[in-house]
Amino acid sequence: MSAKVVVVGSLNMDLVTRAERLPRGGETLIGKSFATVSGGKGANQAVAAARLGAQVSMVGCVGDDAYGEQLRGALLAEQIDCQTVSVVEGSSGVALIVVDDSSQNAIVIVAGGNGQLTPEKVAGFDGVLQDGQVIICQLEVPLATVGYTLKRGRELGKTVILNPAPASGPLPAQWYGAIDYLIPNESEASALSGVAVDSLESAEVAASRLIAAGAGKVIITLGAQGSLFADGQRFEHFPAPRVKAIDTTAAGDTFVGGFAAALAAGKSEAEAIRFGQVAAALSVTRAGAQPSIPTLSDVQAFIPS
C-alpha cells in the first residue's frame, strides 16, 4: 500500500464563469456560463493525490456555511481523511474565477475559513503529520501556519513539498532549509527569485537562485513548455504531453498531487515528474478544478506501461 500524503492547506468553493475573454478594469462582460465547483489549492492537491493512488489526510478549515459542508463532502467522497478539517465560524473560502476562450483564467480568492487554520490547530493534529510520509503546503492559509508545518515536517523527517501559490514576493528565508521540493510555476518562480521566468534558460537561473537560498530541489512548471527540475548539480527538462487545453484551472495542483502520490508509491523522482505531468495534461482537457482531476486508470491509460 502507498504511504500517506498529508495536505495542509485551503478549501475554496470556486464560482466559475466562462467568458470570451477576461474583463478589463471597469468593464462588464456578458458571460457564457456559471458553475459552483469544489476547489482550493490544498483540497485540489488532496483530491489529485487520492485519485492518483495515495492515502490522503487533509488538514484545513471550512466555514459553518453550506459551502463548508459541500467542500468537506467532496473530499469524503474521495476517501480522504477529513477528521482534521475543522468547521469554524463564518464563511468558507471562495474563489471567483473567469475562464476565457483560450483556456486562461483570472482568479480572486477570499480566505474565509482558510484564514483560521492557525499553527496551533496544525500542532493539535501532530499525530496526522507523524503518520504521513509526504507533507504538502501551499500559500492560501496563514503564512505562520505554512512556516510551522514546513519546520515540523522537517523535524519529523518527512518529505516536505511547498507549492508557493499564490506568490507575491520572496518567501521567508528560514523556510527554505525545510523544503525538499519547491514547486512554483513561472510567475511564482519569478516572484520568489526576482528573475523574470519566460524561457527554459531564465527558469534555470531562477531555479539556481532558489537552490542557493536553501531549497532542496526545485521543479518549475512551465505549462505547455513542460517542467524544469534542478537539484544544484544538474538541470533536467521534462517536455509536457501535448493536449488540447479547455481550462487550466488546477493543472498545477494536479501536478503537485500526482507527483506526491507517485513519490509516496515509491516511484523515482523522474517517474513522479512524468506521472504528475500526464495527470496535469489530462486535467486541462476538462473544465473546473476538482472535476477535472484524472484518476489513476486515466493516467495509466495515457502512459502505456
Catalytic residues: 253
| In the complex, minimum distance from the CB of residue 13 to ligand RIB, in angstroms, rounded to a whole number | 8
224 in a known ligand binding site: yes
| In the complex, minimum distance from the CB of residue 81 to ligand RIB, in angstroms, rounded to a whole number | 20
Number of neighbouring beta carbons within 10 Å of residue 156: 14
| In the complex, minimum distance from the CB of residue 45 to ligand RIB, in angstroms, rounded to a whole number | 9
Residue among 46, 28, 98 nearest 247 (CA): 98
Check binding of 289 to ligand RIB (CB under 6 A). yes
Check binding of 39 to ligand RIB (CB under 6 A). yes
Please name the amino acid found at residue 205: V
Angle ∠(296,298,303) on CA atoms, nearest 5 = 90
Under 8 Å CB-to-CB from 118, ≥6 apart: which residues? 142, 144, 145
Residue among 84 and 249 whose Cβ is closer to ligand RIB:
249
Among 202, 249, 254, 277, binds ligand RIB (CB under 6 A): 249
Residue among 41 and 154 whose Cβ is closer to ligand RIB:
41
Check binding of 186 to ligand RIB (CB under 6 A). no
Pairing of strands 93-99, 12-18: parallel
Give residue number: closest CB to ligand RIB: 39
Reading the block at residue 111, the C-alpha cell is: 480566505
Check binding of 14 to ligand RIB (CB under 6 A). yes
209 in a known ligand binding site: no
Residue among 204 and 253 whose Cβ is closer to ligand RIB:
253
Number of neighbouring beta carbons within 10 Å of residue 44: 31
Please report how the helices 41-51 and 66-76 are oriented relative to each other, as an axis angle in degrees rounded to 10.
Answer: 20
Per DSSP, 54 falls in state: -
Check binding of 18 to ligand RIB (CB under 6 A). no
- Choices 73-81, 82-90, 141-149, 246-254; region in contact with ligand RIB by CB under 6 A: 246-254
Binding mask 115-134 vs ligand RIB (x if CB under 6 A, - otherwise)?
Answer: --------------------
| In the complex, minimum distance from the CB of residue 273 to ligand RIB, in angstroms, rounded to a whole number | 19
- SS (HEC) of 244-272: CCCCCCCHHHHHHHHHHHHHHCCCCHHHH
Binding mask 84-103 vs ligand RIB (x if CB under 6 A, - otherwise)?
Answer: -----------x--------
Residue among 98, 129, 104, 93 nearest 224 (CA): 104
Check binding of 78 to ligand RIB (CB under 6 A). no
Among 4, 41, 152, 158, binds ligand RIB (CB under 6 A): 41
Total number of residues that touch ligand RIB (CB under 6 A): 15
Reading the block at residue 162, the C-alpha cell is: 511547498
Helix (H, G, I), strand (E, B) or coil at 2: coil
Check binding of 114 to ligand RIB (CB under 6 A). no
185 in a known ligand binding site: yes
193 in a known ligand binding site: no
Order of strands across the sheet with 12-18? 33-39, 12-18, 93-99, 105-110
Q: What are the C-alpha distances in Å from 34 to residues 26, 43, 244, 297?
A: 20, 21, 22, 29
Among 12, 114, 190, 221, binds ligand RIB (CB under 6 A): 12
**Residues binding ligand RIB (CB under 6 A):** 12, 14, 39-41, 44, 95, 107, 109, 140, 249-250, 252-253, 289
Annotated binding site for substrate: 12-14, 40-44, 140, 253
